[in-house]
Amino acid sequence: AQKVTQAQTEISVVEKEDVTLDCVYETRDTTYYLFWYKQPPSGELVFLIRRNSFDEQNEISGRYSWNFQKSTSSFNFTITASQVVDSAVYFCALYLRSSARQLTFGSGTQLTVLP
């Protein structure tokens, strides 16, 4: 069975600080996809990134960066120079080709960026 763990329930940082959101996943499959989503206070889900299991290259997009490490089954998300608008709940999710075609979500991390 697959599982996604986001151990950090809530994080508070002061604007301009860097912050890393942790995501640990469990699966026996060798082919899978990992996702990060942002859910701002307005409630919609904003897709941030998708990474397949064969691509361990880290990615940077503006102030966002992702560190995928298969050896530790982690897919961590770092926001550099955080801003108040980054305040949201962030979800990590796992998709397996082998099982039912569904995403398994972590429980989310509430990030609050204080001015």
Are the CB atoms for 91 and 105 separated by under 8 Å? yes
Rounded CA-CA distance 77/62 in Å is 13
How far, in Å, are 21, 88, 92, 97 from residue 109 at the CA level? 7, 8, 9, 26
Find the shortest distance in angstroms from Cβ 100 to another protein: 5
As measured in angstroms, the least distance from the Cβ of 79 to another protein is 19
Told to check if 28 binds another protein by CB under 8 A, we report: no
What is the closest distance, in whole angstroms, from the C-beta atom of residue 16 to another protein in the complex? 28
- Kindly tell me the sign of the dihedral angle through the C-alpha atoms of 81, 38, 69, 74: positive
Name which of 45 and 81 has its Cβ closer to another protein. 45
Number of residues that bind another protein (CB under 8 A): 22
**Cα separation of 40 and 25, whole Å?**
23
Instruction: Please state the closest distance from residue 93 (CB atom) to another protein, in A.
Output: 7
- Site residues (CB under 8 A) for another protein? 33, 35, 37, 43-45, 47, 50, 52, 91, 93, 95, 97, 100-108
